[in-house]
Structure 1
Amino acid sequence: MILYPAIDLKDGQCVRLYKGAMEKATVFNDDPAAQARAFADQGAEWIHLVDLNGAFAGKPVNAGAVEAILQAVSVPCQLGGGIRDMATIEAWLDKGLARVILGTVAVENPDLVREAARAFPGQVAVGIDARNGRVATKGWAEETDVQVTELALAFEDAGVAAIIYTDIDRDGAMGGPNVKATADLAWATSIPVIASGGVSSLADLVALKETGAPLNGAISGRALYDGKLDLAEALAALKD
């Protein structure tokens, strides 16, 4: 399992939200590139980036901060938020992103996901953000009637590199991930699943790992900033 430290970007700063609420943002670093370097220096193999403003705007907003991160580190980075057309996907990959994450368009324009996955093999992931098992879009502001597993299975044959599954009500709440739902999703699809939302301790990572589900990894943010989770220790535990 890979541990993906998270850098969520709002107004050019590194923040964490509470249950996806933009008005409940805590600023942890006003220099995202320095934060990315710190994660890389501690041994991170990947870094997970989210353009929070972009998720609401439907287009990149924190591009300057993302570009600074890409210049600051050599580890691969994945980015979600406001990526909703082929031109934006291509532009980000050209700038050095290892992987783009498509969330809202996965619901609204699944053909775009398929086209992108064909054009850029291994570089397109689907972000499935859910509340009570139903997928939410547009920065988690709009709930749909689409079920998590239903959406994942729709891309089973599309060549998608990964699914990032976020339980919104767990995100930033430090209450632990939805282990069962995440494991169930990983068993249900052949696409690698990355757990997100609520991963706040070494015990959470161990619990995910011990399900035996074929999980690719887990994303953690607030716990790393708060010091509740030691990155080096967590990386070592996941390698064992």
Structure 2
Amino acid sequence: MSSFTLYPAIDLKGGEVVRLKRGDMNEATVYAADPGVQARAFMEQGFRWLHVVDLDGAFAGKPANAEAVARILAAAPGMPVQLGGGIRNMPTIEAWLAGGVTRVILGSVAVKNPALVREACRAFPGRVAVGIDARGGMVATEGWAETSTLSARDLALHLEDAGAAAIIYTDIDRDGMLSGVNLDATRALAQALETPVIASGGVASIEDVRALKAAEDDGIAGAILGRSLYEGRIEAGPALKLAAA
């Protein structure tokens, strides 16, 4: 059985399930009022993981949708959840992992405090992923509000020996735009690393899933599905069958 995994995305803003365009909080479309109902629906469709982002937390620098996350965990018991957004210190990491989250995603803090990533990976093997969000190839932080002078590739290589479970690579310019995944950049990053890479941003069709799956041997271990799934451009059944092939 293939280990290529599709992660349906539940992005949280004000306790609701939304999708943004290019990370703009003013460009939010609400898809569900109850994140627990959405989580259960994804579980019943056959997905094996959930990708959850606390958008308010990403901007605030601390968790802001804890109640919504708790509803997700309660509604989809036994379904692994990876969570990002506003996770900037060890107490927050420890609290989420103790509270039922399977894997935390460290994003902005990976740029500003790489030592924390290393510490967390040592303390919780296999339970820490690094989220690298790039605009024009350069890493963006603080809920994508700031763009750094560090390239996505350089950051990934710098953290290669930390022992992260995965690198989640998002092309911000494509996120929520249904414009197609940036396959070349994602594959190039995956080929440069030993750490598995999960593609995010712009996955718009079953063809994108097929292209990413075809690059599995290059180190692409999965893809995050957002707007395309909510709007029916990708159907869960065929996509999951393709991923498992």
Q: TM-score, normalised by structure 2?
A: 0.97
**Deviations 1:67-96, CA, capped at 9 Å, x for gaps:** 110111121000000000000000000011
State the match for 2:129 in structure 1: 125
Q: Which of 47, 54, 71 is 1:68 aligned to?
A: 71
Q: CA deviation at 1:147?
A: 0.5
CA distance in 2, matches of 1:58, 1:148: 21
CA distance in 2, matches of 1:156, 1:142: 23
SS in 1 for 2:116: helix
Q: Which moved more, 1:135-144 or 1:230-239?
A: 230-239
Q: Which of 17, 22, 29 is 1:19 aligned to?
A: 22
CA distance in 2, matches of 1:48, 1:88: 18
CA distance in 1, matches of 2:62, 2:180: 31
What is the identity, as a one-letter code, of the residue corresponding to 1:137?
A: T
What is the identity, as a one-letter code, of the residue corresponding to 1:143?
A: T
1:219 equivalent to 2:224? Answer yes
CA distance in 2, matches of 1:45, 1:54: 25
CA distance in 2, matches of 1:227, 1:104: 31
CA distance in 2, matches of 1:205, 1:15: 22
Q: Which moved more, 1:128-137 or 1:70-79?
A: 70-79
Q: CA deviation at 1:216?
A: 1.0
**Deviations 1:85-110, CA, capped at 9 Å, x for gaps:** 00000000001101000000000000
SS in 2 for 1:55: helix
CA distance in 2, matches of 1:54, 1:231: 28
- The answer to whether the Cα contact below 8 Å between 2:195 and 2:219 also exists between their aligned partners in 1 is no
1:99 equivalent to 2:103? Answer yes
State the match for 2:11 in structure 1: 8
**Deviations 1:192-237, CA, capped at 9 Å, x for gaps:** 1000000011000111122342211000110111011001210001
Unaligned runs of 5+ in 2: none
Over the aligned positions, Cα root-mean-square deviation in angstroms equals: 0.7
Unaligned runs of 5+ in 1: none
Q: TM-score, normalised by structure 1?
A: 0.99
Paired residues in the alignment total: 240
What is the identity, as a one-letter code, of the residue corresponding to 1:189?
A: L
- The answer to whether the Cα contact below 8 Å between 2:16 and 2:30 also exists between their aligned partners in 1 is yes
Alignment of 1:1-240 (within 5 A): 1-73=4-76, 74-211=78-215, 212-240=217-245
